[in-house]
Every structure is written in structure tokens, then in C-alpha cells.
Homo-oligomer: A and B are copies of this chain.
């Protein structure tokens, strides 16, 4: 065995199942050896007994995605991946979004152009299928799945993205035939439209009415429907950004009946509530509310505990940011429709790529709600398995990419947007305390963040073609390994 390029000494490692102390020998960007007293490397880093964990994989984030409503995403692949690296995330999976009328292939090609030469961490693409024409279903989608785009998202709401129910069934059938993973945004679009009309007619247009326009039953119904379609087609699906107990009960029901239904939740459902959408009609409520509008909306305090419990109990397999970066200020931001924009005119989405890992490490692991192995599973291993990046990504194991984070879990800091590296002019988590932050982020053995400084290079992040998914099994039944 040749000399290691780098040895991380005295690492207190965790995987999704194990905790062990070892030196980590890295060669050609991969983990070549684990052991005590490994031979010297060309470079050495002493982890000094600190937690060394697999780099985060953000399985749900939006970067430089074309918008059709006048808004514009503030983060492109340069700023988005920079902020990922600084928060301990070494792989992002944003969305190549098909615009209605466009071919899927064209969407993928366009998105590669947007990413090319800009990423400082590795990246793969989910597809968004918004126009499942026969050509898409029969040719493009199967071909793209085989080429490395093996997961795709579909929407049950949003006028420019949503699929009709029959289309949902048809794309699920393709996923079944090809072995792809389907992510579903589950909210009932007709309920939202009906409630929105009534709210606006009643003059209830402030951001806080966004929550009233999408009560939990809207999410529960769509979740039940998506589960029924998956059951009929006999294909696993992933319900993304699950917000609260009504949808959770549907997912539990399905899992308890042996269905392969997976769930994802996000920081906004653990750290925000509907009050963050505003508590009155004041300008400050409008500002705070506009910044925090996302869908599904955050719910109440009691509900946060339900989401924590479901996270701890294994109902959710994946914890993502759903980073959707719009600036508050400016004509292409949250208030593009005007200073007193109605709730339904404000772009949906909040930033979160950089804060995802520290928030969960602090309030999940260090506060004792989940253990360190669950943290690794939720933020990295399960994501890699679910989207076909495993075993190259997602663990500390022989042969895996040396995407590693050394955590500084000693000091307390307060989240402040001025410390973050995205291009958004606010963070919804402003002021929340965290007790951990990455001290060092390695991408394939190379530091991209160290001691508070971004060291990455645009273009060093590589595109990762995805194999077929092999989702984490804690909630998976009836299929061969």
C-alpha cells in the first residue's frame, strides 16, 4: 500500500450504525484505510478526539433554478455550494426542472450549463417532471434514469409544476419499471386555491394567512392520495418536507402496513412556527412573514415535538434544507409584487443550506433527541442510499469518498446572517443558538472550509451520476437487497 495523501488522526468517528476511534488514511480522495497508528501521510490532521462524520448531503435544495414569476433565486452554484461547504455539506442535489413544453433532456442540459465550473462541492441532479408527455414517459425519463438521474420530484400543487392525478400514476409506473425514486410535494392544490380565494375575498392577504390557506388537512389528503397511488403501482415514494402530525399519521399508517413510504422533514418544521409568518398586520409582521413563507407552512409548537418524535422514531429517513433562496429586498425577491404583497404573491421558500447540519447536530444530538448515528443517517447515509450515491458517498468506509467533517462541538454561537455564505439577505434562523459548527470540511480529502474560512474552488465540485436508489431499510420491505 502506497503512502496516504492525508491521514486524519485520532478521529472519533460515527457512521449511521457505529461509533469508533481510528485514524483515517486517505488516498486519491478516498478512504483507503481505517486503523490505529496508521503509517504517516503526506499530510496530517489531528482530529484530537473530536467527532468526525461523513460530509452532509443535502437531498433537497434549489440553486439557480429558472423561475417564471419574476422572481430569481439568489444562489447559483457558486454561492450555494460555498454555503454548503461552510455548513458541513459536501454534496448537494438540486433540481433540473422541466418547464412545461420543454423536453426533460433540455432541462438537464441547461442545468449542467448552470452548474458547470461553479460548484465547490460535489453535486448530482434530481429531475422535476412537470410535463410527462408520451415522449418523456417512454423515452426521455427512462434514458435519463439510466444515465444517472435516477430520482425525480413531482408536484401536487403549484400551477406551473403540478401534475394531474393520472400523470402522477403514469410517472410512478415509469419509476417502478426503472427503479427510480419519486419525491412528492404533497399538498392538495384545489383546497389551497379555494381557501386562497376566500381569504383574499375577505381581505386576509397578509403573509400570516399563508398558513390558513394550507392547513394540515391539505397536506394530509395529498399524502394519503400519494400513498394510495404508490400502493397501487407498487413503487416506493418519498414524501418530502412533511410538516406535521396529520401527514405523519398517514405515513406511519403506510409504514405500519408494510408499504415502502419514506419521509423527509426540514429544519423549518423543527425551528419555526406559524407565528413566524406574522402575528398581526404590522409592517414588521409582514416582513418577518414574507421572509418565512414556505410550503407547507410551519405549524404550531406542539407540532414541533411531533416532528422531533417522528425523526427519532425513524418515520423520517431524510433531513433536508429545502433551500429555496430568494432575497427579501429587490425586484426579484420576496416583495417583487410590492411592499404589501399578498401572501399568494410572495415566492415560496427559505434559505437553509448552511444551517441545516449545525441546527440538527446542536438541537438533535447535543440536546439528546437523536443519537449521533441517527444524525449521520438522516443527513448523509440515508440520502446517499435513497438517491443512488451510496457507497461512494454517505459514510466513513473503505472505498468511500473522503468527504468528512470535523465538528467543533465545544462552543456556542448565535446564527447570524452576516456570518453565512449564501447570497440571501436574511436567514429565518437568525438568533437561534447552536452549540456545534464544522471546524473542517474535507471534499474528497481536500479542505473546503477550515477554521471559519472558505477554502473551496469553483469548479472543483464534480457532477455525480446516480445509480439506482437503495433506500435505507429501516422502513423498507419486500424487496431484495
Q: Which residues of A contact B (CB under 8 A)?
A: 1, 15-22, 25, 32-39, 164-166, 169-170, 173, 188, 190-191, 193-195, 215, 217-218, 220-221, 224-225, 228-229, 231-232, 249, 252, 255-258, 305, 308-309, 312-315, 365, 367-374, 376-377, 381, 391, 395, 397-400, 470, 473-481
Q: B residues within 8 A CB of A32? A: 35-36
A166-B193, A221-B225 are known contacts; what are 10 more A-B pairs with Cβ within 8 Å? A1-B36, A22-B398, A218-B232, A220-B228, A256-B313, A308-B477, A312-B478, A314-B314, A371-B470, A373-B473
Q: Is the CB of B166 within 8 A of A473?
A: no
Interface centre among A173, A228, A377, A479 (most CB of B within 10 A): A228
Enumerate 9 A-B pairs (CB-CB under 8 Å) in ascending A order: A16-B17, A17-B381, A33-B33, A165-B188, A166-B190, A252-B252, A256-B256, A314-B314, A314-B475
Given B228, B229, B398, which contacts A21 in the complex, CB threshold below 8 Å?
B398
| B312 engages A368 (CB within 8 Å) | no
Q: Which residue of B has the minimal Cβ distance to A375?
A: B481
Q: How far is the CA of A170 from the CA of B39 in the complex (A)?
A: 54
Interchain CB contact under 8 A, A374 and B473: yes
Q: A21-B399, A34-B398, A36-B1 are in contact. Are A477 and B229 (CB under 8 A)?
A: no
- Distance in angstroms between the alpha carbons of A252 and B391 in the assembled complex: 31
Known: A15-B18, A395-B17. A1 touches B374 (CB 8 A): no
Determine the chain B residues whose CB is within 8 A of the CB of A397 once the complex forms. 18, 20
- Does A477 contact B190, Cβ atoms closer than 8 Å? no
User: B169 to A313, Cβ gap below 8 A?
Assistant: no
Query: Are B313's CB and A255's CB within 8 A?
Result: yes
- Contacting pair A35 B33 (CB below 8 A): yes
Closest 10 CB pairs of A and B: A368-B480, A33-B35, A312-B477, A16-B17, A17-B17, A258-B309, A221-B228, A22-B398, A371-B481, A314-B474
